[in-house]
Amino acid sequence: MMRLVLASNNAKKLAELQALFAPLGFEMINQGALGIAEAEEPHITFVENALAKARHAAQHAQAAAIADDSGLCVDALGGAPGVVSARYAALFGEPALTPGPSPNGRGEQDADNNLLLLRNMRDIDDRRARFVSALVAVRSADDPEPLVALGRWHGEILRVPQGSGGFGYDPLMFVPGLGQTVAQLSPALKNQHSHRAIASQQMLVLMREVWRK
């Protein structure tokens, strides 16, 4: 069985991608389990950051690696928060926007990001937005032919969060075609429609065509 190292320590992202890549039978493991630190993400596009993370993981694991760089792009904000979606409040907001401790740290960070986004969109009527996922896979750190897939999931930013599932901006992202926010979807339904699902389906085709010849 081929091992595929995920260039992330996000357990929820690992679970999503494990389910999406199950058809190929890869053993997917996150880099943290191998003692690999997070890579720098200095670039301004999802694709460039995903490539940097995939090469970093492949180099340290000496194995094939895949990276997802994803985030939320809001039309009325010129594409922000974009590649800094996960650090939006830390970079541009006030510290500790939400009071009280969080059991895992991540929940508090997500809440701060959501609150800052709502503040910045308080007087904006154009709520169009999309989740974007760039998946990049490499067979080795010096692979000259990285596989690149890009998925976009369109929706609208609500004024009040709805739903308790998912993570990140899921409670604010309303998908008109499904009549729910992403946080209200079951994991199975989310994996059918999400930006990662769209990118993953493209990546599965590429891996079969290029890696499985």
Known catalytic residues are 69
- Given a contact cutoff of 8 angstroms between Cβ atoms, the answer to whether 72 and 81 are in contact is yes
Using DSSP, state whether 205 is helix, strand or coil.
helix
Q: In angstroms, rounded to a whole number, what is the distance separating the alpha carbons of residues 129 and 139? A: 33
- Contacts of 55-59 spanning 24+ positions with Cβ under 8 A: 55/138, 55/141, 56/7, 56/141, 57/5, 57/6, 57/7, 57/31, 58/5, 58/138, 58/139, 58/140, 58/141, 58/143, 59/141
For residue 2, the 8-state DSSP code is -
List the alpha helices (DSSP H) in 145-194.
Answer: 187-193
Give, in degrees to the nearest 5, the angle at Cα 42 between 85 and 58: 100
Helix (H) / strand (E) containing 112: helix 106-120
Cα radius of gyration rounded to whole Å, the chain: 17
Q: What are phi and psi for residue 64, nearest 5 degrees? A: -65, 145
The H-or-E segment that residue 185 falls in is none
